């Protein structure tokens, strides 16, 4: 019986030591999506004229973008978390640093506007533009809108419509446009 108890104690001690030496796998860190409460477009036109259009999550969108026909504009987008008015956070730089995982996209309706990446735009590791800074080239007179998207983990970065990008939409906002 004493031999049995001796083996049982040795076995219990061995199991205890093994359990102490085992390390648990570290929990997987979750990259939570930032809260986006504000989207701003800064539109630089001829002679460096500047126009801002803004969308706020909790306010009606009253911004109408006014553009001239047959004109090129440089458009810079910024996204903000202004849920704490005393501490607004510009999260555009975070999106830029994660360019491989993001894509801005502009979808125009009712107006003739082509957009391209500006020379000062950010590119991802595959040299795809992020469209933080883009050039908009207007066509004829008209009224319409632009849907602005920030896409997370797009499956492609070369589509011509939102559905073609895949991924998830981090934010989608609309602005009215008048070309006059």
Does the pLDDT at position 12 exceed 90? Answer: no
Quickly state the pLDDT bin for 20 (edges 50, 70, 90). very low
Is 93 among the domain residues? yes
Helix (H) or strand (E) holding 103: strand 102-109
Does the pLDDT at position 91 exceed 80? Answer: yes
Q: Please state, as a whole number, how many other Cβ atoms lie within 10 Å of the Cβ of residue 46.
A: 9
Helix (H) or strand (E) holding 95: helix 92-97
Average pLDDT over all residues of the chain: 87
For residue 133, give the CATH number of its domain: 2.60.40
Q: Residue 119: is it exposed, middle or buried by C-beta count within 10 angstroms (0-12/13-18/19+)?
A: exposed
Is 29 among the domain residues? no
Is 142 among the domain residues? yes
| pTM recorded for the entire structure | 0.81
Is 54 among the domain residues? yes
What mean pLDDT is predicted for residues 47-71? Answer: 91
Range of the domain at 156: 34-179
Is 20 among the domain residues? no
Does the pLDDT at position 1 exceed 70? Answer: no
C-alpha R_g of the chain:
26
What mean pLDDT is predicted for residues 37-43? Answer: 97
| Residues paired with residue 38 on neighbouring β-strands, in sequence order | 56, 80
- 16-25, 37-46, 99-108, 123-132: least confident range: 16-25
Is 151 among the domain residues? yes
What mean pLDDT is predicted for residues 60-85? Answer: 93
pLDDT in the model for residue 169: 96
For the stretch 101-158, pLDDT in tens is 999 999 999 999 999 999 999 999 999 999 999 999 999 999 999 999 999 999 999 9
State how far the Cα of 144 lies from the Cα of 149, in Å rounded to an integer.
17
Q: Is there a contact between 174 and 148 (Cβ–Cβ < 8 Å)?
A: yes
Is 11 among the domain residues? no
What mean pLDDT is predicted for residues 8-27? Answer: 49
State how far the Cα of 148 lies from the Cα of 86, in Å rounded to an integer.
27
State how far the Cα of 53 lies from the Cα of 65, in Å rounded to an integer.
6
DSSP 100: G
State how far the Cα of 80 lies from the Cα of 101, in Å rounded to an integer.
18
Number of domains in the chain: 1
State how far the Cα of 104 lies from the Cα of 110, in Å rounded to an integer.
20
| Residues paired with residue 66 on neighbouring β-strands, in sequence order | 178
Q: Please state, as a whole number, how many other Cβ atoms lie within 10 Å of the Cβ of residue 51.
A: 16
pLDDT in the model for residue 30: 39
What mean pLDDT is predicted for residues 90-98? Answer: 96
Is 85 among the domain residues? yes
pLDDT in the model for residue 157: 96
């Amino acid at each position: 019986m004493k031999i049995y108890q001796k083996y049982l104690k040795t076995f219990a001690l061995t199991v205890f030591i093994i359990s102490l030496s085992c390390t648990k796998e570290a929990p997987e860190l979750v990259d939570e999506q930032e809260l986006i409460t504000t989207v701003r477009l800064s539109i630089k036109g001829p002679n460096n004229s500047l126009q801002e259009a803004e969308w706020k999550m909790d306010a009606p969108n009253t911004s109408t973008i006014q553009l001239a026909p047959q004109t090129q504009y440089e458009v810079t987008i910024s996204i903000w978390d202004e849920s704490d008015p005393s501490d607004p956070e510009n999260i555009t730089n975070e999106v830029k640093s994660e360019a491989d995982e993001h894509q801005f996209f502009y979808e125009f309706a009712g107006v003739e506007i082509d957009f391209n990446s500006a020379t000062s735009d950010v590119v991802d590791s595959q040299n795809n533009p992020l469209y933080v800074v883009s050039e908009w080239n207007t066509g004829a007179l008209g009224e319409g809108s632009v849907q602005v998207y920030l896409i997370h983990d797009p499956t492609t970065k070369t589509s011509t419509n939102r559905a073609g990008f895949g991924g998830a939409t981090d934010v989608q906002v609309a602005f009215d446009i008048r070309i006059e």
